[in-house]
Amino acid sequence: MLNLPACFFELFQQRHSQVCLKCGPSGKRQDNMSGLNNHRNCWPLVLVLWLLVPTSTPIPTKPNMVLIMADDLGIGDLGCYGNHTLRTPNIDRLAREGVRLTQHIAAASICTPSRAAFLTGRYPIRSGMASETEVRVLRWTAASGGLPPNETTFAKILQQQGYTTGLVGKWHVGVSCETRNDHCHHPLNHGFHYFYGTPLTLMLDCGNKHNQKAQALRATYWFCTRTLACAMLLLALGRLTGSLPISWKTVGCFGVCVLVFFVSWYSSHGFTRHWDCILMRNHKVREQSMVLKRTPSLLLREATSFIERNKQGPFLFFLSLLQVHVPLTTTRNFLGRSQHGLYGDNVEEMDWVVGQVLKTLDNEGLTNHTLVYFTSDHGAFIEGRIGDTPLGGSNGIYKGGKGMGGWEGGIRVPGIFRWPGVLPAGRVIHEPTSLMDVFPTVVQLGGGQVPQDRVIDGRDLTPLLRGQVPHSEHEFLFHYCGSRLHAARWHQRQGARLWKAHFETPIFSPEGAVGCYTRGLCPCHGKVARHDPPLLFELSGDPSEATPLSPASEPSFHAVVSRIQEATRAHRSTLTPVPGQLSGSSNMWKPWLQPCCGSFPFCGCQESAHPRDELSWHPLTSFLSMDLPVLDISHEWDHTLYVLLCLVLSLSIMCSRFVHIVACVRASLLFTAVLYSTVWMDHILFIPSSSDGHLGRFIFT
């Protein structure tokens, strides 16, 4: 009886007095003994009623938490969200055993700002992670921009609550600020005890894959650069011998132009793979450049190892998957298995990785004490392709995709929570929720407090997930594209209608397409359509945003638009100016910030099959055990060698006008030998020492 709610206890007392202590058949009141007998006969009724009363199961304290985020995954790519041609049994299992959200919204439609919002529970514009230019993500590992150190992540709060925190996979919110080793934006400075993964992101260059346009452009750039370098060398020799009536100043200016041209294109086309396609463990670079064909297995190894090492708990583990971002690196076992080409193969491998993590939880007996969450950072990249092969996924019935700040296809993502015994299995919620809601949800489940010194835009989802409240706490959600507010939605509680107003939309190209296929990614600024009054949709009846409403078709048009605009003004009044992290010099490559395995710029190493081994570099043994690589002018470094040789030789001729031609030739040969040996050393990747103490073999990239 002590566990009965007070209202039920009073009701029971009333019914007890009417049923158990009523007058007997003779019309006289029963004596105390007979009343006591009737009282005892009522216990079966009491027991039945008590079992029927809904009671709230207390939430276990400090559960383990596994947060899984896919990269560029479309909501239409999963079986539990309606895809019947891709096999995702493990993620579908999560949905069956947990709670599935159908209106789960990313705070941005592109990687860096979306992840910043996920980690902090705040719109990215509040932390400076919303760009004012068309460059909306961090482009370089050696950029100084990133998630500011004064931002508070859920990992930092849970770390203070005694959690062991780990991140495996993609980071993409910065590394260092002023020096290579300050690591101000690094995961370990944002609450994670352990990090293994890539500090930036995957890109086509990491897999040596480019679309046909990029390949042709790259070849053209190299041809032009070599031709210009050769021309400059001829000009210098012509001026030296007096056969060309030009000044040394002219030769020097021409050389500067060649150098500027070379640096301007090679900085984006040539260095990327070596500088940005790297793996780090904590603060150390473990692989540079990444060998993508084995990267998925390395990350899975680290993921399962982290769970096994910390099974005594509590732990927070963030698995930030590299799938399904280009270049869609897929292991041999999954190639050709799906009906959707390379992208489908990559999705099915991603599902298998999720299954291995769930299997580890099962094997360690952690399933019932672990909250598992699965999502994607934003919608599918619908414009991505190599030639005629699509590289992006499906956003289902939703319009648009990655990079489109307002359209549903860019921001509506999967959202699945599973916690056996605490969250109801098979529950589906159609209320508006956000990736930012994960922050207050996991903080409060872990025993922490949401910061009170800043605006937190996320809301605790626990009551909604458990069915204790009927509606989400989000009445309004705002959809940014960079620093531009493109759209806003209003969940009207009375009438349960869901409105969405678009203030700006990208102009699709070519005409008639639903995407920016000629550009590759839709812009936020400049080439966009501005709407006054805004485009208005009622998402409950038109989730595809196919038919905008008008005053003629919707009587409440003006009232709804006015209410959304009022909420937008109120939201903007809460914003305060902060330094931009993704614009200008904050997003430029800075050599002094470049993470390097070795001595910059001679960086290179390869991860061991044994994760705890240290990298070894023994140049003498390397020299004795390897043959000198054969010069191949088609190789990237040999192109560079050729250009640098022409530049330096021309400079030496300019500085020494009376050098004999034979001396010039000898100097050039000596310079070639020195430079070639330097480039050869930079080709070498060093493998960790084996467990028996013998040196492993060295290989070339």
Catalytic residues, by residue number, are 111, 172
Q: How many C-beta atoms lie closer than 10 Å to residue 578's C-beta?
A: 15
Contacts 24+ apart (CB under 8 A), 192-195: 192/155, 192/159, 192/165, 192/166, 192/167, 192/318, 193/159, 193/164, 193/165, 193/166, 194/164, 194/165, 194/166, 194/167, 194/282, 194/306, 195/166, 195/167, 195/168, 195/171, 195/280, 195/281, 195/282
User: Residue 129, Cα to own-chain centre: how many angstroms?
Assistant: 14
The token pair at 37 is 């007998």
Phi and psi (nearest 5°) for 192?
-95, 130
How are the residues of the chain apportioned to helix, strand and coil, as percentages rounded to the nearest 5?
40, 15, 45
Place of tokens 């009737």: 38
Number of helical (H) and strand (E) elements in the chain, helices listed first = 18, 21
CB 640 within 8 Å of CB 652 = no
Using alpha carbons, select from 196, 205, 423, 397 the residue that is nearest to residue 301.
Answer: 196
CB 98 within 8 Å of CB 425 = yes
Q: How many C-beta atoms lie closer than 10 Å to residue 502's C-beta?
A: 21
Place of tokens 């070519």: 510
Place of tokens 């490559």: 589
**Cross-strand partners of 525:** none
Element (H, E) at 534: strand 528-538
Using alpha carbons, select from 432, 435, 307, 282 the residue that is nearest to residue 367.
Answer: 307
Cα–Cα distance measured from residue 581 to residue 301, given in angstroms and rounded to the nearest whole number: 33
In 446-530, which residue ranges form alpha helices assigned H by DSSP? 462-465
User: Residue 373, Cα to own-chain centre: how many angstroms?
Assistant: 15
Tell how strand 64-70 and strand 315-320 pair up: parallel
User: Residue 297, Cα to own-chain centre: how many angstroms?
Assistant: 19
Using alpha carbons, select from 72, 118, 109 the residue that is nearest to residue 403.
Answer: 109
Cα–Cα distance measured from residue 633 to residue 202, given in angstroms and rounded to the nearest whole number: 28
Please provide the DSSP assignment of 95-148 as one string. HHHSEEEEEEE-S-SSHHHHHHHHHHSS-GGGGT-S-SSS--S---TT-S-SS-
Which 3 state secondary structure label does DSSP give 177? coil
Cα–Cα distance measured from residue 350 to residue 380, given in angstroms and rounded to the nearest whole number: 15
Using alpha carbons, select from 147, 91, 581 the residue that is nearest to residue 376.
Answer: 91
Cα–Cα distance measured from residue 556 to residue 551, given in angstroms and rounded to the nearest whole number: 7
CB 349 within 8 Å of CB 96 = no
Q: How many C-beta atoms lie closer than 10 Å to residue 673's C-beta?
A: 10
